[in-house]
Structure 1
């Protein structure tokens, strides 16, 4: 995760990468770039506590546990649980959580449509847990840059052009190829 200050807005910004999430109560911005990955931007509108995750694949079928900084957050089943738990620990109320979903683009046309599976997982998780989706920009063939302001709930989405597809697709391919070589470790029990 990279922290910086946006000179134009004068706001502290956290850039998250695949397998990361960030939660805040402060007037900050969280941003990421998505291809087939999904980011859930989630907040409690009463407390202003909000956060964002960035996951690469839908489910770790071995589901042995994860920690906040673990590579296990590359999987949706860990990334969603860890984000929701961090929001609740920061003072959010479960019944007020609002979800905004982004990503799931098909940017690697020669491989399995991972974005489609990620979208399916995200919808299944949200509806199974009884949460509500208030906004979304998912699917299609575009990578996206997401700027999220958790305190207000505002999201800015920029669809990136095809030139970015090749570099993002190469980055996602490298990440996917490395996933199999790293064990999933941690101490969170999924139920």
Structure 2
């Protein structure tokens, strides 16, 4: 079984959340990464997520055979502290994901990143361009850290469903109409917002 680190916590129970389920379309067991969460595991692990204006960075060290994914909602918290200790914010989500990979034998100079999301899917959010801000943040962050971006699919107005296979680095991306994903995105936003009180914790292919 794949070794796994889970870094999202249920504030009510204090327990880590790492449910696996079998995805019939992908033909393998997967773990879903929700807003404000990140996962790190070995080459056997497959991660999935659904993105609107949020961004996910998929980062791995192909030599060490470790990788992971985050899912952040905003670049940083504008309040004092800047979102420290909360993976809802990119500044922390990126730092903690990279640090966990290094702890598990990854080398910074070997890391490769693939980044996704940052769409402006909700009219009321387009004025503040949350998706654009998230997309700019993740690219600027990776450039500062000298981590190569092997692939990207950012911006636009469509939601995205991702599947990330750590072993191969392969990413499957499905673009989805907003109308078909509004309910799911609303649930995920509510989930991510609920974590504010929680304890801190290849190629791109299109598929149908």
**Is 1:6 aligned to residue 40 of structure 2?**
no
Distance in 2, matches of 1:9 and 1:146, equals: 11
**Offset, 1:46:** 1.4
Residues 100 and 136 of structure 1 are in contact (CA less than 8 Å); yes or no, is this contact kept in structure 2?
Answer: yes
Q: 2:130 aligns with which of 108, 114, 127?
A: 114
1:127-146 correspondence runs (5 A): 127-146=143-162
Residues 31 and 48 of structure 2 are in contact (CA less than 8 Å); yes or no, is this contact kept in structure 1?
Answer: yes
**Offset, 1:4:** 1.6
TM-score using structure 2 length: 0.78
Residues 44 and 93 of structure 1 are in contact (CA less than 8 Å); yes or no, is this contact kept in structure 2?
Answer: yes
**Is 1:37 aligned to residue 37 of structure 2?**
no
- The runs of 5 or more residues in structure 2 that have no matched partner are 1-17, 202-208
Residues 35 and 188 of structure 2 are in contact (CA less than 8 Å); yes or no, is this contact kept in structure 1?
Answer: no
10-19 or 73-82, larger mean C-alpha shift: 10-19
Q: Which residue of 1 aligns with 2:102?
A: 88
**Offset, 1:131:** 0.9
Residues 51 and 185 of structure 2 are in contact (CA less than 8 Å); yes or no, is this contact kept in structure 1?
Answer: no
**Offset, 1:155:** 0.3
Distance in 2, matches of 1:106 and 1:132, equals: 25
**Offset, 1:9:** 5.2
Residues 107 and 169 of structure 1 are in contact (CA less than 8 Å); yes or no, is this contact kept in structure 2?
Answer: no
4+ runs of 1 displaced by more than 6 Å? none
- The runs of 5 or more residues in structure 1 that have no matched partner are 67-71
Q: 1:49 aligns with which of 53, 60, 66?
A: 66
TM-score using structure 1 length: 0.84
RMSD: 2.3
3-state SS of paired residue (1:21):
strand
